[in-house]
Chains A and B, each alone.
Chain A
């Protein structure tokens, strides 16, 4: 699927809207060194390009553009100009004083709101203009005859260049709106796919990887459901993750993960391919999503018999059925029944909420390469190839090596995620500029 889409982009390569997508092969070394945000990950890509080609990764993968490349796009420049013009217009209208008619009061209000919304962006655009003028002046000095002055100008231009980069990055960040769900916590769901026991073992490893990732970021990781088989595999598991930016950094992990290796149990040394699925469900707040308690059936061991002081049961598992949908959540992680009930409720809320989100968003974002927030996807997003010690993300064609470190859920996974974030931002930007372009034409 990813491959087909990438191909899809090529014929439109000259189209203004899709001109952001430049095949990997065209990237200039200069552009790489200027990707400001994640220099370490850039190193990976540089060093491993040839190996990536050998492993059968599609060649025509859309690349992550550097800040400079983005800013050299006319579409972006036009968008910024248009936004500034809109801001000035709104500002003028807002300052022009009392409206003559009652009806225009609302328009005035909306213009004022727009002014305050756009203010930080406009501020940065103006800063950038000023810096660029300063840069031009400094560049003139670089040709000066006085060597001391030239040296000074060189120093100054270096600092200036850095500041320009920072402001540009800032502008890009301001252009990409924060999603509401980005601020929420999440529930992670892992499910074994094809491959039997091997798939279940791998599911366990991936679950551990995210536990490590949560630990790495200082998030809490609370297991809600953990369905195992007798041989140390995991059929499915749920965990609640909360902490700063947890959803934002986990949301790209959803999808089918594929593992290729010789299983420990394999006698003839044959390589197996198995899969597991990861779903990232944003955890709704009590206010934004309510469940009617009449729709719930709660099952416990104590439901039969007298209960209370009459009996001492230690089985504190709780199972909750949402009657209208038949969705079930259960928990037996805790010795306290009320804690199990709370956790099962949390899992149930996340499951129901993701179903609701799925309905709302599946149509809207179906066209995107990096999908988020939806659950029932069958698309393979990443391959863990043990014999070659590599992990390839198919959405952005990024390959990293060192399986052991990757599965720790620390820096390597974090870098992969940053690239996905970058790429998704670019897609958002592209949509923004695309819309702008259509409106303009």
Chain B
């Protein structure tokens, strides 16, 4: 199904940790959404004209609901965090390519607000999964929900829980290995994982983010630098919203 914009309805919303919200949305998009895809969420305040791209955390096609988990990063997400059950919410989606699904024994790695999209992927990947989650502190949002899908390892920046440091510290401390890596999180983390994957000689799929306007590949705002000339742009740029957000790590410059 192609993407579309619709006025959907908020099913429920809760705060998982300070500033981190989980919202279930009643929408037909639940039927076609894939892990790693995202939706564009529009503000109802006309002074904020651009939609906010937010990754899909879970899809429940039977109930017709999508879940997003997001951090308040400004006035737009502040507004969304105030929505309650029954409120209308303007969304467009599902957008982007989503994660491939390959590998026998994989790493699912999420850092900070890059953690949510890994949940639906964890649910859908039918293989050995080692889930490595990086947090700032002891606010381990979604951690328990990952337990059902694989062994979970935690790293915290302040050392309050699990390995002190980042997700790579957790991988090393626990002596983990994999044949495919999937990751979403801050750019320095993705850069380190790209290097790690190259050294290990394994495929690594990373989900990127960038400021977006159209969300569908028309405006060329959210490009990333690519190793090769891209067939659409005919230069070393790919569109994160349309060609991504998931890319093989070795094909993009971070």
Pairing of A with B: no
Chain A positions near chain B (C-beta within 8 angstroms):
none
